Structure 1
Amino acid sequence: MQFLNRADELELLDRRLRGDSAELLVIYGRRRVGKTELLTHFADGTRALFVEATDTVRQEQLHDLTDELARVSGDELLKSQPLTSWEAALAAIARFVGDQRTLVVFDEFQLLAQQAPELESVLSRWWRTTGRTLPLVLVLAGSEISFFEDEVLAGRLYGRRTGQLKVEPFLARDAALFHPGYTAEDRVRTYSVCGGIPYYLARFTDDRPLGEHLLTEVFERGGLLHDEAELMLRQSIGDPANHTAVLRAIAHGHNRNSTMSARTGLEPAHITKLLGTLERLGLVESQRPVTASPRSKKVTYRICDQFLRFHYRFVEAARSQLRTNALAAAYVQDTVLPQLDHHTSGVWEDVCREHVLLNSPEVSSVGRWWGPVPTGRDRRTTEREIDIVGVDGDNNTRVLGMCKWTTSAVDFAELNLLDSLIPFVDRVVDQPRRVLCSRAGFTDRLVRHAAGDPTLSLVTPADIYA
């Protein structure tokens, strides 16, 4: 796979490798995000021992480590006498490092720790007595987010690590590096399918139309990504049937505990536990109005990962229609492509919020706002929403905006709607900046108006990738 971007991550690793101190780095992130590619790319041309753990028993893992250490060191003794304990393995690694600056990577470290519960204690003790005295950069990497945050970063290695890096999916603008020949609109659509996951994006090259990639990679039964969602869940959850039901419910718009319970038939308390697991895995996140207190009960849930959002909306619910390639082609043509822009509209909001955050030094976070707004009839209210709300470090609202993913150019109606809702948002500063984001651009008269209004910005897909 072509290696793209990750400039900040590579700079961090390179700085640590060029330093004089021993380093114990924890690098983690969800599956398929590109951790192994990043570390493999970084290790290229470096004196390194790269151990990629497998899900097997402890002795086999130590045999694999022995074989790799013997290969890179040329130690004939190791070839004839495999290592039988982690104490012996770490002593052998210390001999290999010697007095030369060396990178040592334990990839999928959680698999080693599962088979050897004593490993973290052994490693902590070895680092205190030996490792920190060596010209060594030791990297513990893996994809079980909850394990790394709870057991490694906050566990036995809390006082030993010298740095950590959570590898995140690509931003929307960086994801487009995989298909530079696509139009700006198709880049957004592709992001709505693949999100920022390099493993998925690499399959959606610009040598073929997006619709063809959807058919061959996602909907045909032989496609690489056809069963990806289920396989990914099963790597983290033994029996994911109920978790799958919750993900399907969210993907179809049931984003509150009560509505998920009604759709799935699962008890609300059980739904809460399932959501907690999905949140720890980084697949689902809870949302509140960005101006609300963290204790606010205005909670909704959404699938963080765009690919899972797409999969559980279009793939999982249509298994019976994907039995043959011909049926899959008809389903993509008749159902998926006509509904793709509706699906993309929600992701367009994510893309625009990201754009505002990256281009607004005055704000520290960007989210949504929703709340009751008077209808003008008696004391009746209706719930309304603002797509983009940016707040500063003191929770003052500084940027507000709306997003449209339609075929019609946006006119003053959208600006007037935004202005009518602003008074109901908490702690809005005087003359906040307003942003309108539109797939189809803006009318000439709105463009002329914006040119004379420094508080108003107009954003199109082309601006996202400029």
Structure 2
Amino acid sequence: MEQFVNRIKELNRLKALYGSEQAELAIIYGRRQIGKSELVRQSIIDRNDVVYYQAVQGTPTTQLSRFVETAASTFPSITSVKEEWEPLLTHLVERDAIIILDEFPYLIESDKSFPSIVQHLWDTGVDDSQATLILTGSAVGMIHTYLLDGGAPLYGRISQTPNGRIELTQLPFRSVQEFVPGYTPEDRVFVYGVFGGTPRYLDPLDASRSLGENITRLLCDPDGPLHSEPETVLQMELSEVNTYFSVLESIARGNRSRNEIAQGAGIESTNTSYYFDRLETLQIIEKHHPALADPTRSKRTRYKIRDPVFRFYFRYLYGRGGQYELYGENAYEDLIEPELPDFVSETFEELCHDALPELYPECTFTRVPSQWWYKGREIDVVAPTDGPKLLVGEAKFTNAPLGYDILNTLEETVEYIDWTPKTGGNPSYEYALFSRSGFKSSVEEAADDRTDIHLFDLNDVVDTFETDKTR
């Protein structure tokens, strides 16, 4: 059974809907395997007023008959109702039922009029009801088309409270650690960097096996449960997938700007907007702007793949099946393990960003800590405060101790940052250095001699994500 981890806020939001004194229509959406079904199942434990119907692909007739069969176990009187969606739903709404239509896009596939039926019911038949209708779906594009975008049939009918629209995203690192409690802090970072925070990707992990064994059996093995997951998800959502696959492979191999990605994918940069916009809507990729830049005006945009499993697939597995067969049992050790620290370094950097409020409790940050870049110069960590202090840092997830050259380059690069404190005057810089493998003595001596340099090892970062802080 899927572990139910860190969805307490969402669970409480659903229970608030169930306790409402008026009819409520809500949507739960998010990528496939993110935990939507488990969330709604947890929310209805011990209730006797629920119809939970998990839709599948089928004809309108089979959908209706399966729905009636499911609903009859809680509301037997529904068997006497005409088998059409509007009278069936009306019958349940009149009885203040909680109706959950899981994967409702399948209902739309079999009957395009289904959203309009719900729209009519909600506009005319729920005034005296305390029913709750929950729609869940993984087909993010379809959900936008029929529910969330202006002009959609159900646009504006979703509950206007914060509880009416629940988007499930990946679990944070704090929660992911609970899936591998016996792992070292370093290996937990590797797990998060490879498997991300999707519950269904984390459930098959075996904490009694090594990191390499888990990666091999779950991802690298052609019969592994996650090996073809990215292809499956993309083929469910997209047509002409070859171009999308080329774009994602280009990003996974380190290209970040639109021009770089287009060149790596072998397509004209002028033809990329459609593909990028579609992948963003589906939450497959996301764009970033430099720290301190105005995202509405900045043209310095970079793209990344949101889900580590997708990034891993397109960096190491896509189109390389023959190579893995050639290496056989040594494929992980020879092809992946030597590069894995570099692959996970992006995740480690993000964890360093997230850890800053805990590591610097005396600071009030006015923006989310992030990366900065300008004309070939980069800084891993930049975080402005409400005072004159600008926190800057480097995060290195390498096998070697961080040396003084990193600090020296950082001090030179900050001169190119254009930032004026809200308090006026010139900024003062605070230097934060993060390292997986410790620090050379020259760096430690500098930190001992100066008050503006702080050193943090991997354990310092991981310790800020103690699981009991969310309880």
TM bucket (normalised to shorter chain) is 0.7 to 0.9
Shift of 1:428: 4.7
| Paired residues of 2:81 and 2:87 also in contact (CA < 8 A) | no
TM-score (norm 2): 0.86
Q: Give the SS at the match of 2:380.
A: strand
- Structure 1 counterpart of 2:321, one-letter code: R
Q: Give the SS at the match of 2:392.
A: strand
What is the distance in 1 between the residues matched to 2:191 and 2:230?
17
Aligned length: 446
What is the distance in 1 between the residues matched to 2:279 and 2:82?
38
How does 1:47-446 map onto structure 2 within 5 Å? 47=48, 48-75=50-77, 78=79, 83-95=82-94, 97-98=95-96, 102-154=97-149, 155-162=152-159, 163-293=164-294, 294-323=296-325, 327-356=327-356, 361-372=364-375, 383-391=376-384, 398-429=390-421, 430-443=427-440, 446=443
Query: Are the structure 2 counterparts of residues 425 and 122 from structure 1 closer, same or farther at C-alpha, using a change threshold of 3 Å?
Result: same
| Paired residues of 1:22 and 1:134 also in contact (CA < 8 A) | yes
| Paired residues of 2:389 and 2:430 also in contact (CA < 8 A) | no
Query: Are the structure 2 counterparts of residues 409 and 43 from structure 1 closer, same or farther at C-alpha, using a change threshold of 3 Å?
Result: same
How large is the Cα RMSD of the aligned pairs? 2.7
Shift of 1:268: 2.1
1:458 aligns with 2:455: yes
How big is each residue's C-alpha offset from its partner over 1:215-261, in whole Å with a ceiling of 9 and x where there is no partner? 11111121111111111111111331111111111111122333333
- Structure 2 counterpart of 1:263, one-letter code: G
- Cross-structure match for 1:376: none
| Paired residues of 2:53 and 2:100 also in contact (CA < 8 A) | yes
What is the distance in 1 between the residues matched to 2:25 and 2:325?
49
Query: Are the structure 2 counterparts of residues 393 and 446 from structure 1 closer, same or farther at C-alpha, using a change threshold of 3 Å?
Result: closer
Query: Are the structure 2 counterparts of residues 128 and 218 from structure 1 closer, same or farther at C-alpha, using a change threshold of 3 Å?
Result: same
TM-score (norm 1): 0.87
Query: Are the structure 2 counterparts of residues 23 and 451 from structure 1 closer, same or farther at C-alpha, using a change threshold of 3 Å?
Result: farther
| Paired residues of 1:352 and 1:403 also in contact (CA < 8 A) | yes
Shift of 1:210: 0.7
How big is each residue's C-alpha offset from its partner over 1:87-111, in whole Å with a ceiling of 9 and x where there is no partner? 122122224x34xxx4321111222
1:34 aligns with 2:35: yes
Which of 231-240 and 409-418 deviates more? Answer: 409-418
Q: Percent identity?
A: 27
Q: Give the SS at the match of 1:342.
A: helix
Q: Give the SS at the match of 2:272.
A: helix
Shift of 1:319: 0.9
- Structure 2 counterpart of 1:204, one-letter code: L
What is the distance in 2 between the residues matched to 1:266 and 1:397?
44
| Paired residues of 1:173 and 1:464 also in contact (CA < 8 A) | no
Query: Are the structure 2 counterparts of residues 214 and 424 from structure 1 closer, same or farther at C-alpha, using a change threshold of 3 Å?
Result: same
| Paired residues of 1:357 and 1:364 also in contact (CA < 8 A) | no
| Paired residues of 2:369 and 2:381 also in contact (CA < 8 A) | yes
Runs ≥4 in structure 1, deviation > 4 angstroms? 357-361, 391-394, 443-457
Query: Are the structure 2 counterparts of residues 106 and 451 from structure 1 closer, same or farther at C-alpha, using a change threshold of 3 Å?
Result: farther
Which of 104-113 and 226-235 deviates more? Answer: 104-113
Q: Give the SS at the match of 2:206.
A: coil
Query: Are the structure 2 counterparts of residues 332 and 314 from structure 1 closer, same or farther at C-alpha, using a change threshold of 3 Å?
Result: same
| Paired residues of 1:152 and 1:158 also in contact (CA < 8 A) | yes
What is the distance in 1 between the residues matched to 2:281 and 2:462?
32
Query: Are the structure 2 counterparts of residues 12 and 433 from structure 1 closer, same or farther at C-alpha, using a change threshold of 3 Å?
Result: farther
Q: Which runs of 5+ in 1 are unaligned?
A: 373-382
| Paired residues of 2:389 and 2:428 also in contact (CA < 8 A) | no
What is the distance in 2 between the residues matched to 1:393 and 1:62?
58
Query: Are the structure 2 counterparts of residues 333 and 446 from structure 1 closer, same or farther at C-alpha, using a change threshold of 3 Å?
Result: closer
Q: Which runs of 5+ in 2 are unaligned?
A: 422-426, 464-471
Shift of 1:73: 2.0
Shift of 1:457: 4.3
